[in-house]
Amino acid sequence: MIKKWWMAPLLVLVLVLSACSEDEVQEGSGQETEEGLEPLDEKATVIVAEDGAASGAGFYIANEMGYFADYNIEIEFATFSNSDEMLPALASGEVDVAGGISSASFFNSIAQGIDVRMIADKGHNTEGNSYFTFVIREDLQDEITSYEDFEGRTIAVSTQNGVDDYIFQQMLEHAGLTRDDVEFELMGDFGNMLAAMGNQTIDAALQIEPLITQGESQGLHVRFGDATDYAPEAQIAMVLGSPDFLNEDREIAKRFMAAYLKGVRDYNDAFIKETGDLDKIIDIMTEYTALKDPETWKEVGVTGLDPNGKMFVEDIHNQYEVYKENGAIKGELNLDQVVDTSLVEEVVDLIGEYE
């Protein structure tokens, strides 16, 4: 069941939620649950703030495959216009789980007393085919052959003091460049980057899928290298948890996380290992996300999702320090109290490691 709690997109990197029927009843998968994670005696409803981003695959797949139902959990999806609305709802327990990306404003909200926890991976780049990486104009392939060649070029990035900006800075450092060596073009709409490529007002862009694949097919740009060239362990998005959900509703939270990780494992089996039911997983992704073409799903670089829920914790710290050095952080924040890996560690002990 998908239910809109508040309207519009969340703070993750893409697009819009495709809703299921309100009266749809989700059936279980028929699989046995693990010892120590038997179904709940009473049905529990877990509210998940998610906007149809590809990085929410674990939620969508677990829901459609019946993994939540196996534990007697029903999911309601909620959408918010921005993090200023979502984070207080999460902190107060009105929402149990959400997807989020790092930004200075996100960290500032937590520093100012909004109590939420980063509990699991919800998006990172995969080596060689990153979901989120730089592209250059197709006509510049002979002129831009290394990251050093970005010097003097106009580069579009969707945020300042957000994860896109952090990746941009990592690339500059890798190339031995500074911000003064390039023309930074703030362009919040990824779709507008395609048009800017077409009219040659920008030379490069930090772009996302499926627009990377779309722009290549239209002859507007080409993928340039890979984000893992300069940010091999960048944490792009995280699963966020309400303190009430993680503490007072711990038994529900454990079962929720077990189901989520099973969904992520199906995703990895299909897209990464190529051993799972790719067509079925693509059907689920086309239902929940704005990318509706099954064939395009076979071409795009998919979001990296860790099947054991592990986050690149060191990179989260590094992102915070970069925003702080840029003067964008107000107040002090103890990230060790914000990043909570205990739930995924406890659950993986019960369901086993994925290799």
pLDDT digits (tens, 9 = 90+) for 183-212: 999 999 999 999 999 999 999 999 999 999
pLDDT score, position 35: 77
pLDDT score, position 11: 39
pLDDT score, position 26: 62
Look at residues 184, 150, 126 and name the one whose alpha carbon lies nearest to residue 304.
126
Q: What is the pLDDT of residues 289-334, one digit of tens each?
A: 999 999 999 999 999 999 999 999 999 999 999 999 999 999 888 9
Q: CA-to-CA distance for 155 and 313, rounded, in angstroms?
A: 28
Q: Is the pLDDT of residue 13 over 80?
A: no
Q: How wide is the angle at C-alpha 83 spanned by C-alphas 60 and 328, nearest 5°?
A: 130
- Average pLDDT over all residues of the chain: 91
Are 75 and 46 in contact by the 8 Å Cβ rule? The answer is yes
Q: Is the pLDDT of residue 161 over 50?
A: yes
Q: Is the pLDDT of residue 36 over 90?
A: no
Q: How wide is the angle at C-alpha 25 spanned by C-alphas 22 and 30, nearest 5°?
A: 155
Query: How remote is the C-alpha of 248 from its chain's centroid?
Result: 26
Q: Is the pLDDT of residue 72 over 50?
A: yes
Q: What is the pLDDT of residues 205-259, one digit of tens each?
A: 999 999 999 999 999 999 999 999 999 999 999 999 999 999 999 999 999 999 9
Token pair in block for residue 223? 């993928």
Q: CA-to-CA distance for 181 and 162, rounded, in angstroms?
A: 20
Q: Is the pLDDT of residue 23 over 50?
A: no
Residue 342's CB is within 10 A of a number of other CB atoms, namely 11
Cβ neighbours of residue 186 under 8 Å, at least 6 residues apart? 156, 157, 158, 159, 160
What's the rounded mean pLDDT across residues 37-51?
Answer: 96
pTM for this model (two decimals): 0.90
pLDDT score, position 102: 86
pLDDT score, position 51: 86
Token pair in block for residue 298? 């076979």
Q: Is the pLDDT of residue 10 over 80?
A: no
CA-to-CA dists, residue 50 to 2, 10, 11, angstroms: 10, 7, 9
Cβ neighbours of residue 11 under 8 Å, at least 6 residues apart? 82, 83, 86, 100, 101, 103, 106
Q: CA-to-CA distance for 305 and 312, rounded, in angstroms?
A: 12
Cβ neighbours of residue 6 under 8 Å, at least 6 residues apart? 78, 79, 80, 81, 85
pLDDT score, position 30: 76
Q: CA-to-CA distance for 147 and 19, rounded, in angstroms?
A: 41
pLDDT over 90, % of the chain: 83
pLDDT score, position 138: 96
The β-bridge relationship of strands 221-223 and 235-241 is: unpaired
pLDDT score, position 31: 82
Q: Is the pLDDT of residue 45 over 70?
A: yes
Q: CA-to-CA distance for 198 and 333, rounded, in angstroms?
A: 43
Look at residues 116, 121, 143 and name the one whose alpha carbon lies nearest to residue 335.
116
- The SS3 of residue 124 is strand
